[in-house]
Amino acid sequence: MDRNDVDWNGYWIATTTPFKRDGSLDEAALRQGLRSYPGMGIRGVLVNGTSGEWFSQTSAERRRVAQIAVEELRGNIPVVIGCTTFTAAHTGELAQHAEKIGADGVMSTPPPYCVPTPREVICYFQGLSEYVDTPIMVYNWARGTNVEIKYDTSVELSKIENVVAIKDSTTDRDQMIKTLEHVSDKVRIFAPLISRLGLAVIRGIGGDGNIDGCPTAASFGSDFYESVSRGDDERAKAAADRYVAMMSRLINPDWSGVYGTAQAQYKACMNIMGQPGGYPRLPLLPIEDPKSLTALQEILTSAGLLEPTVRAKAV
């Protein structure tokens, strides 16, 4: 199995998981958000990733969120289930559930907190592959794991039977380009490529798509990749410029949010736009101070995503 066994490309969303103020899962809001994605030009959905706050869910809740996503989107756009845990065995159990319910693939970072060596990272994903036959997406997320999957480790991971993609959320641009150079012919690479430089990288080296943390920038991101696929580089550049202008005011270079934790900020933006963002779950806190909400509203308005008369609110 390799990149040619999956049709994964374009602009994807790592969807948030909406919770109510009391911390309970808001299933109705989750379904509403998922149903809206295909109409936004979103080409795939990842659930229970970093944006989905997997770390504050029970295993039962993670299975429920996965079930809902598959129910809502099966046969429409690909659904990949985040299964990250601290061991291949536990991750494998969640992956088996995802495979059973008909998900298109599963995803995991290296085990968080324990800071495994490259050899241990490879062993972890080899172990995961023994639990399922479904396609696996490797998630390079050094901010959350303190482990940077470098290109030479990516080469070894690409040799694992059902590893077909890498979500490369690195802040090291040179490292990202090395990964593209060495493994983009074997696995799909989703990376932060929505920019003029990213367009040049796609044309010169490769790159299959981008996975954002919420649908706020979907109109720009989907337009970028659709334009790339049509060969309309001038339109792609225009979409990239709008995307960068907005996202550079929302997300810091280390992927943290400017006005709060990224998950809380994603949800605040969604709520301001009338999308079903809901609340984050503890230990994360919602963004509710008027100054931050007003700033977020101004950013969204400047990007052309809001009418100037819309008033910012938490939920």
pLDDT value of residue 3: 98
Taken in order of first residue, the domains within the chain and their CATH numbers are: 3-232 (3.20.20.70)
Answer yes or no: are the C-beta atoms of 84 and 54 closer than 8 Å.
Answer: yes
- Tens of pLDDT, residues 53-63: 999 999 999 99
- Tens of pLDDT, residues 143-172: 999 999 999 999 999 999 999 999 999 999
pLDDT value of residue 307: 82
Percent of the chain with pLDDT over 70: 98
List, as own/partner pairs, every contact residues 224-227 make where C-beta atoms lie below 8 angstroms and the sequence separation is at least 24, other chains included: 224/11, 224/194, 224/199, 225/9, 225/10, 225/11, 225/43, 225/194, 226/10, 226/41
Kindly state the average pLDDT of the residues 132-146: 98
- Tens of pLDDT, residues 260-291: 999 999 999 999 999 999 999 999 999 999 99
Answer yes or no: are the C-beta atoms of 263 and 284 closer than 8 Å.
Answer: yes
Give the integer Cα–Cα distance in Å for 85 and 82. 9
- Tens of pLDDT, residues 58-87: 999 999 999 999 999 999 999 999 999 999
Question: Is residue 312 pLDDT above 60, yes or no?
Answer: no
pLDDT value of residue 314: 54
Distances in Å between the alpha carbon of 55 and those of 48, 52, 83, 84, 298?
A: 9, 9, 10, 9, 31
Q: What is the mean pLDDT of the chain?
A: 97
In the chain, the N- to C-terminal Cα span, in Å, equals: 44
* pLDDT band per the 50, 70, 90 thresholds, residue 309: low
Buried b (16+ CB within 10 A) or exposed e, 201-239: bbeeebbbbbbbbbbbbbbbbbbbbbbbeeeebeebeeb
Question: Is residue 225 pLDDT above 60, yes or no?
Answer: yes
Would you say the pTM of this structure is higher than 0.85?
yes
